[in-house]
């Protein structure tokens, strides 16, 4: 973290997205609400959406150990989403950005994820590749909010603001306008506002700390392993051990992880301030036209983040205890995909109606992507899957 940064410093107000400006425009004009801003209304629309509720039934990393019933306190997609939302709101507020826009984007950031975590997404993408297509959870999220959610008699979708739709598409990656002409309205030649850029970092910080927590809690990871491989954790854990030498081990872990989370969030805010100051930016337009994204960790914190992530991939996400769950996810997702392709009559009527415009493979993928872990298991069993 830069030593000279002042934690209380807000960015120039011209950098924040204007809550009533051009980005608050909707496809279908609606009268203004008497006391809620457009982005606050969008956050509420997502919170009340069916796809949002289904996040409760979708795996984040894992929800059970081999041979055990599902664990009640490991992160689901929903609780992960709420943790990302807390971090995003905090950062946006502390920097003087539009916290309501950041909240709406954080609530939506994983809404396009299929069942069974990363393994389910990889399997769905693999199944689609055989049809010359692919699965991208950001683009699927856009389809959910613009089409699949039905809560209004006058139009399909949630009629979200342009700012929220742009952020859904661009918060974690940049799309080329040549490859994605259908996304032309989302300023593909520019970076998104900081409110969207920070979501990706908030996501990383949330899941790194949460996965260390769940990894240790499940005993897939050991404390010695984490101390050895994650220097940032080791430093804070040593501090906690000297402060509370008699504390139970589990509490020393929680105390250390709280400090890791706080350090990474504080570093993110500091680095954004440093980068914006170096640029001398005072407008959103300047943020959009920089050569690189401005929401990032400092080089030292980035090295810590990368080390932790590398460790989690090697020892948690790809651990022997997860192999069975991954292959099960692949078998169910690809098996059900094949069964529905072979017999589209198994699709619900509203999905079948999409086949003429979207094609069968995309329609089947849309249906599967919307399922919770338990629903896809039930359907797979009903289709005779084993």
Minimum CB distance to Mg ion smaller for 257 or for 379: 257
Specify the residue, 45 or 171, whose C-beta has the smaller distance to Mg ion. Answer: 171
- In angstroms, the CA 241 to CA 137 distance is 41
Touching Mg ion, residues 232-261 (CB under 5 A): none
In angstroms, give the least distance from the CB of 377 to Mg ion: 23
Nearer to Mg ion, 260 or 340 (CB): 260
Residue 175: CB atoms within 10 A of its CB come to: 16
What is the 8-class DSSP label of residue 11?
P
Binding segment for Mg ion (CB under 5 A), chosen from 48-56, 158-166, 202-210, 361-369, is 202-210
Helix-helix angle 299-312:249-279, to 10 degrees: 140
Nearer to Mg ion, 9 or 86 (CB): 86
Q: In the structure encoding, which two tokens stand for residue 317, read together? A: 């996400």
Q: What letter would DSSP give residue 29?
A: -
In angstroms, give the least distance from the CB of 280 to Mg ion.
Answer: 32
Distance CA 354, CA 197 (A): 33
Q: Which residues contact 113 (CB under 8 A, 6 or more apart)?
A: 55, 58, 77, 120, 121, 137, 369
Q: Which is nearer to Mg ion, 373 or 379 (CB)?
A: 373
Shortest gap between Cβ of 113 and Mg ion (angstroms)? 8
Please identify, using beta-carbon distances, which residue of 205 and 220 lies nearer to Mg ion: 205
Interatomic CA distance for residues 308 and 295, integer angstroms = 19
Number of residues that bind Mg ion (CB under 5 A): 2
Coil, helix or strand for 146?
helix
CB of 100 to Mg ion, least distance (A): 20
Q: Applying CB under 5 A, which part among 149-157, 168-176, 178-186, 203-211 lies near Mg ion?
A: 203-211
Helix (H, G, I), strand (E, B) or coil at 27: coil
Which stretch, 20-28, 167-175, 180-188, 199-207, contacts Mg ion (CB under 5 A)?
A: 199-207
Inter-residue contact 91 to 265 (CB < 8 Å): yes
Q: Closest approach of Cβ 233 to Mg ion, in Å?
A: 21
* Cα separations in angstroms, 183 against 15, 189, 246: 24, 11, 57
Select from 149, 203, 211, 366 the one that contacts Mg ion (CB under 5 A): 203
Q: Which is closer to Mg ion, CB of 106 or CB of 365?
A: 106
Could you tell me which of 56, 53, 55, 72 has the C-alpha nearest to residue 64? 72
Give whichever of 110 and 373 is closer to Mg ion, judged by the CB atom.
Answer: 110
Q: Per-residue string for binding with Mg ion, 100-129, x by CB under 5 A?
A: ----------x-------------------
Judged by CB under 5 A, which stretch of 141-149, 200-208, 324-332, 371-379 contacts Mg ion?
200-208
CB of 82 to Mg ion, least distance (A): 11
Q: What is the dihedral of CA 207, 212, 217, 220, to 10 degrees?
A: 110
Q: How far is CA 68 from the centre of its chain?
A: 27
Q: How far apart are CA 344 and CA 238, in angstroms?
A: 58
**Distance in Å, CB of 110 to Mg ion, minimum:** 4
Residues 286-345 binding Mg ion (CB under 5 A) are none
CB of 201 to Mg ion, least distance (A): 11
Cα(127)–Cα(116) distance, integer angstroms:
15
| 83 lies in the site for Mg ion, by CB under 5 A | no
Token reading at 348: 């619900």
Q: Which residues contact 318 (CB under 8 A, 6 or more apart)?
A: none
Q: Where does this chain touch Mg ion (CB under 5 A) — which range of 14-22, 198-206, 240-248, 276-284? A: 198-206
At its nearest, how many Å lie between Mg ion and the CB of residue 132? 28
Binding site for Mg ion (CB under 5 A): 110, 203
């Amino acid at each position: 973290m830069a030593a000279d940064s002042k934690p209380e410093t807000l960015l120039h107000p011209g950098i924040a997205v204007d809550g009533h400006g051009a980005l608050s425009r909707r496809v279908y004009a609606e009268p203004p609400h008497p006391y809620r801003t457009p982005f606050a209304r969008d956050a509420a629309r997502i919170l009340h959406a069916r796809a949002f509720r289904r996040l409760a039934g979708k795996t984040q990393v894992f929800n059970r150990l081999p041979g055990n019933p599902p664990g009640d306190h490991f992160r689901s997609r929903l609780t992960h989403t709420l943790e990302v939302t807390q971090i995003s709101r905090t950062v946006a507020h502390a920097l003087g950005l539009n916290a309501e826009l950041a909240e709406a984007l954080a609530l939506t950031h994983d809404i396009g994820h299929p069942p069974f975590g990363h393994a389910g997404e990889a399997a769905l993408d693999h199944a689609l590749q055989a049809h010359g297509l692919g699965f991208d959870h950001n683009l699927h999220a856009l389809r959910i909010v613009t089409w699949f959610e039905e809560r209004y008699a006058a139009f399909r979708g949630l009629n979200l603001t342009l700012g929220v739709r742009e952020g859904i598409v661009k918060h974690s990656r940049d799309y080329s306008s040549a490859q994605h002409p259908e996304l032309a309205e989302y300023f593909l030649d520019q970076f998104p506002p900081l409110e969207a850029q920070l979501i990706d970092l908030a996501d990383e910080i949330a899941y790194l700390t949460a996965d260390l927590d769940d990894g240790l809690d499940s005993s897939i990871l050991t404390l010695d392993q984490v101390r050895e491989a994650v220097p940032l954790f080791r430093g804070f854990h040593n501090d906690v051990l000297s402060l509370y030498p008699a504390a139970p081990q589990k509490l020393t872990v929680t105390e250390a992880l709280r400090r890791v989370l706080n350090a990474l969030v504080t570093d993110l805010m500091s680095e954004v301030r440093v980068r914006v100051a170096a640029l001398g930016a005072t407008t959103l337009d300047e943020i959009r036209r920089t050569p690189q994204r401005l929401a990032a960790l400092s080089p030292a914190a980035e090295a810590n983040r990368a080390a932790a992530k590398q460790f989690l991939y090697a020892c948690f996400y790809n651990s022997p205890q997860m192999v069975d769950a991954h292959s099960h996810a692949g078998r169910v997702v690809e098996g059900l995909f094949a069964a529905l392709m072979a017999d589209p009559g198994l699709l619900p009527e509203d999905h079948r109606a999409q086949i003429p415009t979207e094609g069968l493979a995309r329609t089947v993928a849309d249906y599967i992507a919307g399922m919770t872990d338990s629903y896809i298991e039930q359907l797979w069993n009903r289709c005779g899957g084993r």
